[in-house]
Chain A
């Protein structure tokens, strides 16, 4: 029994859908794997007991139904128990990136406190290491691992008082990163999440014998829904690892697929390059990936060359072209908007580069014409519609590039405690900010409307980086720009910072460049790919005097191309 479109009516909330897992109490619900520790297997029954104890622990800590609980912890079982525990007692959990050694705690807490005040956060749960640091400046109670575990133990399962939510109650929030992203918590109802899970199960033909393997962070929609909520609700095993562990040791994912006969995994495009280039030969001995049904490329623009690189590298281990799949997803639709069908590779659309750039038409390429290969994101999942609109909101025909608009039964209720922001058009469409086109019933994404950078699957607002760079000594305040530049080797956009400086002295310029890299890393946990220092008046401004990101990006790319040539 699974949560399918057919069985959807039998469940009202995420909590009663958990019965699906309870039907198999002795089966593994979560298997947590790590480089430096033995795997930990949590059965369905153990998961239920732990999360109820954590729910009781949260209640003892003063959390009541409807309270917002921020989980800013490392990716481990405790943070999962706390999330599900909060859900069970009717609180609203939201996963957050943890503070790290590298990050400036003052900057991190300034962002956190802005959220705490705006959204009335009741409690922050974090690791023992960072709890005292955060508690010093937090505007709400901060509870560390040991404290919550203690409260959970004292309360025990018997201390748990269950909560029966309404299907339209907010189940949890998803936030995107950075100061800009923190201002808008995507609020999702139980109804929306269940609708998404039922539709998505159809789209990927989810089966009871599927095994999901994931390294994705749970503060991201792809990790939270595909790599956490979905397997737990559907009662299929989740083999989970920490993203910190995986980026350093990419073979961990492949070993887990091999060991547990994984069938499904979701990866941002850069991960295909990371795996293909950075898993060592020795690590692949005896590893088989034949068990896989789909590697689903999601959450940043899909590159055909990344798929080809991956296929070429792992064909010997059993990866076939028909295992490659694509999904276009966003937190505002809970998760997936589209999905390529299982069992066939995603369509590749070979279009005229000129017509795409100049006429905004995806016209199949003619002979002797420069071509661009676009990979299809597939058709929309059941009960989600997509259309393409022009600047004035008018529908565009097939193959005309415009903004993607979506409508579905699994959309956000709204932005949390932001009645001033209405995400929908009067007739219920959500404008995604992504530019794309439709062809033969499938969605293709070609870019973005706004200057958003997607680096390694993470949305980054350039203004957040520019604000940091503008404060670096030696940089002309207001004379810095940040943007993304596509990188074939990494399969993602790298972050470029250009800053105007007065000095010509090489030593001073080196020191400024270094300070820029350090400041961005300490204040945002983002690594800058390129720092380019330029003299006064290099940067192009708009007629209104603002720094023109797109024009400066073009100029930088042009200058780099001429240097290489």
Chain B
């Protein structure tokens, strides 16, 4: 498992979410806002996120961890990726 830089992971995921999932690059996505519960993206996006994380960071997040409760904020996503 390569060492991942947390800030890089955070900004990579933030850019991915605003560009690919919210489709609004100007959106100011904060670290702790509810992305799915706040209606910014639907739960389909969790599966998209899983593919992105596998390709980008080589991290496989098992299905039971891909839930709205566990992956609703940027902080939660970053923390999960950093676990490897």
Closest B residue to A514 using CB positions: B27
Q: How far is the CA of A424 from the CA of B39 in the complex (A)?
A: 39
Given contacts A248-B67, A278-B47, are A527 and B27 in contact (CB under 8 A)?
Answer: no
Complex interface residues of chain A between 533 and 562 (CB less than 8 A to chain B)? none
A274: chain B residues at CB < 8 Å are: 44, 47
Contact with B along A509-521 (1 / 0, CB 8 A): 0100110011111
Given contacts A102-B37, A510-B26, A510-B28, are A244 and B47 in contact (CB under 8 A)?
Answer: no
**Tally of contact residues, B, Cβ under 8 A:** 26
Q: How far is the CA of A282 from the CA of B61 in the complex (A)?
A: 11
A102/B67 in contact, CB under 8 A: no
Q: Which of A206-214, A223-231, A249-257, A260-268 contacts B (4 or more CB under 8 A)?
A: A249-257
Which one of B23, B38, B64, B68 contacts A518 once the chains associate, using CB atoms below 8 Å? B38
Contact with A along B49-82 (1 / 0, CB 8 A): 0110010000010011011100000000000000
A35/B64 in contact, CB under 8 A: yes
A251: chain B residues at CB < 8 Å are: 63
Most chain A Cβ neighbours within 10 Å, of B24, B39, B63: B39
Q: How far is the CA of A279 from the CA of B50 in the complex (A)?
A: 9
Q: How far is the CA of A115 from the CA of B22 in the complex (A)?
A: 33
Indicate whether A277 reaches chain B with its CB closer than 8 angstroms. yes
A517/B47 in contact, CB under 8 A: no
A102 to chain B, nearest CB (A): 5
B34 to chain A, nearest CB (A): 9
Closest B residue to A521 using CB positions: B39
Indicate whether B41 reaches chain A with its CB closer than 8 angstroms. yes
B36: chain A residues at CB < 8 Å are: 102
A529/B39 in contact, CB under 8 A: no
A520/B27 in contact, CB under 8 A: no
B67: chain A residues at CB < 8 Å are: 248
B44/A247 in contact, CB under 8 A: yes
Q: How far is the CA of A101 from the CA of B47 in the complex (A)?
A: 20
A282/B47 in contact, CB under 8 A: no
Indicate whether A350 reaches chain B with its CB closer than 8 angstroms. no
B37: chain A residues at CB < 8 Å are: 101-102
Q: How far is the CA of A463 from the CA of B51 in the complex (A)?
A: 35
A278/B51 in contact, CB under 8 A: yes
B60/A530 in contact, CB under 8 A: no
Q: How far is the CA of A282 from the CA of B51 in the complex (A)?
A: 10
Which one of B26, B39, B43, B51 contacts A244 once the chains associate, using CB atoms below 8 Å? B43
Indicate whether B11 reaches chain A with its CB closer than 8 angstroms. no
Q: How far is the CA of A279 from the CA of B44 in the complex (A)?
A: 12
Contact-size category for A = 35 or more
Q: How far is the CA of A530 from the CA of B24 in the complex (A)?
A: 7
Given contacts A249-B63, A252-B63, A280-B51, are A517 and B44 in contact (CB under 8 A)?
Answer: no
Closest B residue to A509 using CB positions: B26
B47/A250 in contact, CB under 8 A: yes
B68: chain A residues at CB < 8 Å are: 101, 248
Contact with A along B9-50 (1 / 0, CB 8 A): 000000000000001101110000000111111111011101
Indicate whether A531 reaches chain B with its CB closer than 8 angstroms. yes
A490 to chain B, nearest CB (A): 8
Closest A residue to B69 using CB positions: A101
Given contacts A249-B66, A510-B26, are A277 and B51 in contact (CB under 8 A)?
Answer: yes
Indicate whether A36 reaches chain B with its CB closer than 8 angstroms. yes
A36: chain B residues at CB < 8 Å are: 64
Q: How far is the CA of A366 from the CA of B37 in the complex (A)?
A: 50
Indicate whether A522 reaches chain B with its CB closer than 8 angstroms. yes
B39/A280 in contact, CB under 8 A: no
B7 to chain A, nearest CB (A): 23
A249: chain B residues at CB < 8 Å are: 47, 63, 66
B54: chain A residues at CB < 8 Å are: 280-282
B24: chain A residues at CB < 8 Å are: 513, 530-531
Closest A residue to B67 using CB positions: A248
A279: chain B residues at CB < 8 Å are: 47
Q: How far is the CA of A406 from the CA of B38 in the complex (A)?
A: 42
A529: chain B residues at CB < 8 Å are: 23
A54 to chain B, nearest CB (A): 29
Contact with B along A488-527 (1 / 0, CB 8 A): 0000001000000000001000100110011111100001
B1 to chain A, nearest CB (A): 15
Q: How far is the CA of A249 from the CA of B26 in the complex (A)?
A: 29
Q: Please name 13 pairs of A and B residues whose Cβ atoms are closer than 8 Å in the assembled complex, sorted by A.
A: A36-B64, A101-B37, A102-B37, A244-B43, A251-B63, A274-B47, A277-B51, A456-B44, A494-B23, A510-B27, A521-B40, A527-B39, A527-B40
Further contacts, 13 of them, CB under 8 A, given A278-B48, A280-B60? A35-B63, A102-B36, A247-B42, A247-B46, A248-B67, A274-B47, A278-B47, A280-B54, A517-B38, A517-B40, A519-B39, A521-B40, A527-B41
Which 5 pairs between the two chains have the least Cβ-Cβ distance? A521-B39, A527-B42, A278-B47, A249-B63, A248-B46
Chain A contacts to B: CB under 8 angstroms: 35-36, 101-102, 244, 247-252, 274, 277-282, 456, 494, 506, 510, 513-514, 517-522, 527-531
